[in-house]
Chain A
């Protein structure tokens, strides 16, 4: 059975053109980009080509502002710890939101061990950060503000440009985790006004395990990985060239395809969302209805648990993601959903669909066809379903 893959946030299949670029590189180039000879030079050329491709995607002023990493997690770690170390004399306070990705929150947890202080702002029921709240949290000791561009669980897009203006006004560095957004929606570091931005290739049809940190010229930041002089002395270590070539190709592709793909995906997402709320009663839609990623649907289904729902959908060939505690390795409820004020019980029944450029209308219709019955089967099995309905 051909799979209906709706978990693009976890990983995207390699685009054929990305695969082609990577195979080409595998077959013809093996040298170390740092070797200044005829073996290393093609590697260096491939590296710089990819750098240019990524810089173009995010409209960086200079390709040198793009530093390749092992993915979004490393980029986030580097932004937070690098600035904290770099500006340790200036202050020890950072501001963030409480729905950031774990790579941000846990990096801050480590900084707390080193006596940095963190203000973690609450979000509203839609997951939105209030720029006024950011400004209120700023102190003379604040050295970095980190707010994600789009949330990977509920899709909410934050008012980054507005927050950047506040950061600039107070002359504080501003980082945004744009992993869930880059390659999906237009991301322009000049329009956004950020100092630092994280992105990852596996979100936009590139290989897993590679990403980049954009560092605006003039941003004081210490390296995360110490050692040699690679990445303009920002990030030591012999480069993962094959991955980086893939990232570059994917970036160029994303820039080209986005004008066509984005509206198409948005239409399919709306079809899915409308279909679900029409056919299944007592479903809560998470995230901001207006400022949301165009390919993400997060719903919480009352009375049932997410992993069992996800498994029964998989039985029908539909791959999605869930945010139930039981399905997460840590057995904790999603901090993002709880952060928006969702009750713990309802949070357990959360599914996240992320559509891709290869998703079709027929795929969506098949989901809408099978899901209501699956939900009803699980509701009939649930001890809280009948109780609720017995009261009425």
Chain B
């Protein structure tokens, strides 16, 4: 694998692995069907992410991203946490191979989803139990190419699934 030393470090020695049994916010994105799934648990105090843990089903990049983004989020305010982007994570990791950039999308989304969950709970919104967050799948205009809100276009070329909502992308050469 052409991974940077920082990625390898976060993969072999991941920080913040675990779960929080009564989290203030929970974000679950992805799907083992796609090969990537992340759950992020946060504890919030005085508008800050006091504690954060993750569980990940995924490749070396996915685990490294989870470790890095939870490290970056710890101690930040909720606003700062929402601003951490996938590009920030990829940069902090010293870059990711092009076909792994979608893993960094997953990390950012799991964190944002956890923060949003906290805000929703505070606002009294009831969360549908156990469902991974799904964005409606948007089909692009040009010949069957699909655009998802999360993925890099390059990566989608031959992808059989939308990385995030798990919908199948049928191709003309499938038999």
Q: Which residues of A contact B (CB under 8 A)?
A: 98, 105-106, 109, 112, 118, 120, 303-308, 311-312, 315, 324-327, 329-333, 343-345, 348, 380-384, 386
Given contacts A98-B175, A311-B11, A332-B160, are A326 and B55 in contact (CB under 8 A)? no
Closest residue on chain B to residue A120 by CB atoms: B175
Cβ–Cβ contact A303 & B57, under 8 A: yes
- Min distance, Cβ B18 to any Cβ of chain A, angstroms: 9
Cβ–Cβ contact A381 & B35, under 8 A: no
Of B26-34, B69-77, B111-119, which stretch is located at the interface? Answer: B26-34
A257 and B85 alpha carbons, distance in the complex (Å): 57
Q: What per-residue 1/0 map shows which CB atoms of B32-63 lie under 8 Å from chain A?
A: 11111111000000000000000111111111
| Chain A residues in 8 Å Cβ range of B155 | 331
Contact of A382 among B55, B59, B61, B160 (CB under 8 A): B55
Given contacts A333-B160, A386-B19, are A324 and B55 in contact (CB under 8 A)? no
B142 at the interface (CB under 8 A from A): no
- Min distance, Cβ B174 to any Cβ of chain A, angstroms: 9
Q: Which residues of B contact A (CB under 8 A)?
A: 1, 11-12, 14, 17, 19, 28, 31-39, 55-63, 99-100, 102-103, 155, 158-161, 163, 173, 175
A105 and B56 alpha carbons, distance in the complex (Å): 34
| Chain B residues in 8 Å Cβ range of A308 | 11, 58-60, 62-63
- Min distance, Cβ A65 to any Cβ of chain B, angstroms: 31
- Min distance, Cβ A324 to any Cβ of chain B, angstroms: 6
Closest residue on chain A to residue B32 by CB atoms: A345
Given contacts A303-B57, A307-B60, A326-B62, are A383 and B17 in contact (CB under 8 A)? no
- Min distance, Cβ B167 to any Cβ of chain A, angstroms: 12
A382 and B99 alpha carbons, distance in the complex (Å): 22
Cβ–Cβ contact A332 & B159, under 8 A: yes
Would you mind naming 30 contact pairs between A and B with Cβ atoms under 8 Å apart? A120-B175, A304-B57, A305-B57, A305-B58, A308-B60, A311-B1, A312-B12, A324-B59, A325-B35, A326-B35, A326-B59, A326-B62, A327-B59, A331-B35, A332-B160, A332-B161, A333-B35, A345-B33, A348-B35, A348-B57, A380-B17, A381-B14, A381-B55, A381-B63, A382-B56, A383-B37, A383-B39, A383-B55, A383-B56, A386-B19
| Chain A residues in 8 Å Cβ range of B28 | 383
| Chain A residues in 8 Å Cβ range of B55 | 381-383, 386
Contact of B32 among A112, A315, A330, A384 (CB under 8 A): A384
| Chain B residues in 8 Å Cβ range of A327 | 59
A312 and B63 alpha carbons, distance in the complex (Å): 12
| Chain A residues in 8 Å Cβ range of B163 | 331
| Chain A residues in 8 Å Cβ range of B161 | 325, 332-333, 344
Cβ–Cβ contact B38 & A383, under 8 A: yes
Closest residue on chain B to residue A112 by CB atoms: B173
Contact of A344 among B14, B33, B58 (CB under 8 A): B33
A124 and B58 alpha carbons, distance in the complex (Å): 28
Cβ–Cβ contact A305 & B35, under 8 A: yes
A86 and B39 alpha carbons, distance in the complex (Å): 56
| Chain A residues in 8 Å Cβ range of B60 | 307-308, 311
Known pairs A333-B160, A344-B34. 12 more at Cβ < 8 A? Answer: A98-B175, A112-B173, A306-B59, A312-B12, A325-B160, A326-B35, A331-B102, A331-B160, A348-B32, A348-B33, A382-B57, A386-B19
